Structure 1
Amino acid sequence: MTKVAVIILAGTESHADTGRLVNGLETAKEFAETAGDEVELIFDGAGTQWIPELEDEDSDYHDLYQAVRDDTAVCEFCAGAFGVEDAVSDSGVVTLDDHDGHPSIRSLVADDYEVITF
């Protein structure tokens, strides 16, 4: 059994950012599809900007996102800082504020999660 936290930090501004998003989603999906594995997908920092786009059914990456949506969470502080707080709230995706408004990476490490960032 493998436990992994995939953290999307890439924003929405460049082709390279999109590549990092897709690679992160594919990685999370691979773990989600593997029996016995546990995956947490966290959108943090500029990565929170992806939520409104990924929730849009017309997005090129909507279906890929839907494959891992149940394992998804968003940094509460960063959603506000990057102007997507309302979209995140409307989406119903869980927000994390464990450490000063942000997800606790330390808790993930303490719980034996491998942390992978994109």
Structure 2
Amino acid sequence: MTKAAVIILAGTDGHSNLGRLVNGLETAKEFADGDGDEVELIFDGAGTQWIPELEDEDSDYHELYQSVRDEASACKYCSNAFGVNDAVQDAGVVQIDENDGHPSVKSLVEDGYEVITF
């Protein structure tokens, strides 16, 4: 059994960031589809901006996002800082604020998660 935390940090600007998002979602899906694997998908920093875009059914990556949405959460502080807090809340994505408003990477490591960033 593998435990992985996939953290999306890439913002919505530029083709390379889109590639990082898609690779992160594909990685999360691979773990989610694994027999007995655990995955946490965390949108952090500028990555929180992807949530309203991915929630849009017209997004090219909406279906891929939906395949791992149950594992998704977002940094509460960054959702506010990047102006997407209302959209994240409307989407029902869990907001994490364990470490001064941010997710705790330390806790993930202590819980045995391999941390992978995109």
Whole-angstrom distance in 2 between the partners of 1:89 and 1:4: 24
Q: Which letter does structure 2 place at the counterpart of 1:12?
A: T
What is the aligned-residue identity percentage? Answer: 75
- Counterpart of 1:50 in structure 2 is 50
- Counterpart of 1:3 in structure 2 is 3
- Counterpart of 1:65 in structure 2 is 65
- Counterpart of 2:92 in structure 1 is 92
Q: 1:28-82 CA distances to partner (integer Å, 9 max, x unpaired)?
A: 0000001110000000000000000000000000000000000000000000000
Q: CA RMSD in A?
A: 0.3
How many angstroms does 1:97 deviate by? 0.2
Whole-angstrom distance in 1 between the partners of 2:107 and 2:78: 18
How many angstroms does 1:21 deviate by? 0.1
Whole-angstrom distance in 1 between the partners of 2:69 and 2:88: 13
How many angstroms does 1:87 deviate by? 0.2
Whole-angstrom distance in 1 between the partners of 2:76 and 2:61: 22
Whole-angstrom distance in 1 between the partners of 2:87 and 2:93: 10
Q: Which letter does structure 2 place at the counterpart of 1:30?
A: E
Residues paired across the two proteins, number: 118
- Counterpart of 2:40 in structure 1 is 40
Structure 1 unmatched runs, 5+: none
Q: Which letter does structure 1 place at the counterpart of 2:24?
A: G
